[in-house]
Amino acid sequence: MSSEQQNAGNPEKQILKPQGESSDTSSAYLDLGKPDLSKPNSSKPNASKPDLDKPSFRLQKSQKENLQIVAIALALAVIIRLFIAEPRFIPSDSMVPTLLIGDRLVIEKISYRFHPPTLGDIVVFEPPQQLQIYGYAPDKAFIKRVIGTPGDIVQVKQGEVYLNSQPLTEPYTAEPPDYEMEPVQVPPNQLFVMGDNRNNSNDSHVWGFLPQENVIGRAVFRFFPIDRIGRVKFAPDQPESPYPSESQPIS
């Protein structure tokens, strides 16, 4: 008896094959072989890298760099304006002839962090409380010249300003003062300030002393108009201070 006849009689030993399939079992499997790693796998998405040479990429990079530069410049401008220096515009004639209407100045803020204002400094300041009572806004800046510092005695008589009993030589004023002022002593942490246009200046001879804490900075440089550009002096022909080198003791 053949093996096929024996298997036919035994159902458990029967092997079912698809119709028309060869009895060679090796043909029932695909020969996949080893993967060819040298060829790209087309079944995965192509994770392409950005083309650094494309104009659109270069434009985006340039715009990002420009924004960074602008941000840094703005930050520096804010820091410089708050702590180092700031530009100011002269709106009135109270400092004529030293400063004219329309002059643009650089106001430096560093030096007064190390020492108080000195005689002859041209200072920019916030209005003191006595001026705010009369309606001046706290952010409205004034500019005047320091005539007296703490302990000094200031007096105006016979067309001259006296500092500690000595008349000041003031070639920077528009004209001699046409008013009189009794001697006053500058209190601690205060200043006595006046405009160079003596008869057209709202200054300490009108409203009193200026707290040093109100001082924003001092005028050091005029950058406009071009024909008068340069350092702010006591007077065009007198860069030296006209103030006494030593204050007299107060009796």
- E strands, 109-250, are 122-125, 142-148, 153-157, 160-163, 166-167, 181-185, 190-194, 210-211, 215-224, 230-231
Q: Using an 8 Å Cβ cutoff, are 94 and 197 in contact? A: yes
CA distances from 243 to 121, 152, 168, 216, 233 (A): 11, 12, 6, 23, 14
Residues labelled catalytic:
94, 144
Half-sphere exposure (Cβ direction) of 179: Cα atoms closer than 13 Å: 9
Coil, strand, or helix at residue 124? Answer: strand
Q: Which residue has the tokens 């399939």?
A: 21
Coil, strand, or helix at residue 224? Answer: strand
d(CA 186, CA 205): 12
Question: Residue 179, Cα to own-chain centre: how many angstroms?
Answer: 42
Both structure tokens of 64: 């990002």
Helical (H) or strand (E) element with 75: helix 55-79
